Amino acid sequence: MKKLSLGLLAGAGLFIGLFTNVAMAEEIVVVHAGTLLAVPGQAVQTQQSIIIADGKIRKVVAGYVEPQALIGEGDALIASYDLKDKFVLPGMIDSHVHLTAELNPRGRLEAVEMSDPDRAILAAGYAYKTLMAGFTTVRDVGARGGDAIFALRDGIEKGLVVGPRVYASGSTISVTGGHGDGTQGYRDDIAHMMMSSGVCDGAAECRKAVREQVRRGADHIKLTATGGVLSNTAAGLGQQFFNDELEAIMDTAHSMGRRVTAHAHGADGINSALRAGVDSIEHGTYLDNESIRLFKRKGAYLVPTILAGVTVTEWANDPKGFLLPAQRAKAKQVGPRMLEMARKAHEAGVKIAFGTDSGVSAHGDNARELALLVEAGMTPMEALQSATIMAADNMGQGDHFGKITPGLAADIIAVDGDPLSDISVMMEIAFVMKDGVAYKGN
């Protein structure tokens, strides 16, 4: 083997040095925060500078530091933002949305009229509204439109579409004819074309349905443990999967590295899902004392979706509303109970993560849930915790977002006023940043 000459070695060293300098250079963004709630639940700070490098929080320092003083050799200052007159906090997280739809009087027709690309375009618009409302991350828990939700998620990740970070479940795991099937009331030939890959009966089919969602690209698994309000069937609100089916779903999902959440209204379905090892419960309307014991013993989260209850109650009480008879009857049962359910769970110390069921309620109105959580007995600080650090932990992503601390994603929002004294100010978001890029108020 020939030895390299000293000249070649020196040239190689120079090249490596140049490459190293380029690799070490960072794009710096500076945010001056007048009032900062960096970690909901901890003390508020004033006159802080947030330094962001390549989309992540590098550090938070006291005082309004001159941006140029923070730039290292080779770094580039991309932008600085003056939020000295604002209340600054982490981007919010909605644990329960349906981005590919929004219920309306034409919903049943749209189910057969709209193509998957139509759904993806619709979802892109709803995603934009959600981001502008201050929600930088969402968990989509059941989507119409085939792979539309995965296309949206990936398009946002690639920077082709503006929207929140999306964690998608794909199709909901449901029993034939149960809540989540979605084919009730259609002719058999139409229903056959609408059949979801998540519908299953028996433990073996349920294992396959979970694996199919993972194959399609699901980030987590959503199942319907009980009947639901908006399914077009008078099948009640009790448990719909058998226990062996629930256990098959949990074991399969967990073995494939996916967390599981369960839509559940009736106490029998709530408790069976918790015993089977579900990570969180959506709605939880009829939870009982046994449910509370199971929540606390298992460490599972509750996502109350009070806003969905308020919304369906309004529809049910509207004599000219578009709910079908079976839906209207269930809405009148469920809707009025959800606020008191959340109060009971909170008082008992159940872990609560923020979620709205947007798609039932209007996308972009997500922050209404904060006021409802406060009405249910939470302090404004606790409500903000549920929409940041608690929601991130529920998703298994507490090391990635939910706080303004070094190493986490630079997801930052700001409002006029003090949400700790008036939570309603969260309905008007003045500034939105996700991954260090400002999308509103810039």
Q: Indicate the pTM of the whole model.
A: 0.90
| 146, HSE (Cβ side, Cα atoms, 13 Å) | 12
CA-based torsion, 345, 350, 354, 358: positive or negative:
negative
Residue 87's pLDDT is 98
Per-residue pLDDT tens over the stretch 323-354: 888 888 888 888 889 999 999 999 999 999 99
Of 281, 234, 283, the residue nearest 261 (C-alpha): 281
Buried b vs exposed e over 144-166: b needs ≥16 C-beta within 10 Å? bbbbbbbbbbebbeeeebebbbb
Per-residue pLDDT tens over the stretch 234-264: 767 899 999 999 999 999 999 999 999 999 9
**Do the Cβ atoms of 301 and 279 come closer than 8 Å?**
yes
Residue 24's pLDDT is 56
Residue 188's pLDDT is 66
Per-residue pLDDT tens over the stretch 82-112: 999 999 999 999 999 999 999 888 877 777 7
Of 428, 385, 439, 388, the residue nearest 29 (C-alpha): 439
pLDDT confidence tier of residue 67, bands split at 50, 70 and 90:
confident
Per-residue pLDDT tens over the stretch 176-189: 888 776 656 666 66
The enclosing H or E element of 123 equals helix 116-132
**Do the Cβ atoms of 202 and 245 come closer than 8 Å?**
yes
**Do the Cβ atoms of 430 and 108 come closer than 8 Å?**
no
| Residue 28 burial (10 A CB sphere; 0-12, 13-18, 19+) | buried
| Average pLDDT estimate for 289-310 | 97
Q: What percent of the chain has pLDDT over 90?
A: 72
Residue 51 phi/psi, 5° resolution?
A: -105, 125
Per-residue pLDDT tens over the stretch 391-436: 999 999 999 999 999 999 999 999 999 999 999 999 999 999 999 9
Domains of the chain: 6-90+405-440 (2.30.40.10), 92-394 (3.20.20.140)
Cα gap 415→435, rounded to integer Å: 18
Asked if the model's pLDDT at residue 13 lies above 60, the reply is no
Q: Name the token pair of 68.
A: 């140029």
Cα gap 217→45, rounded to integer Å: 41
**Do the Cβ atoms of 381 and 422 come closer than 8 Å?**
no
Alpha carbon distances (Å) from 223 to 100, 191, 209, 241, 387: 18, 20, 10, 9, 22
**Do the Cβ atoms of 134 and 429 come closer than 8 Å?**
yes
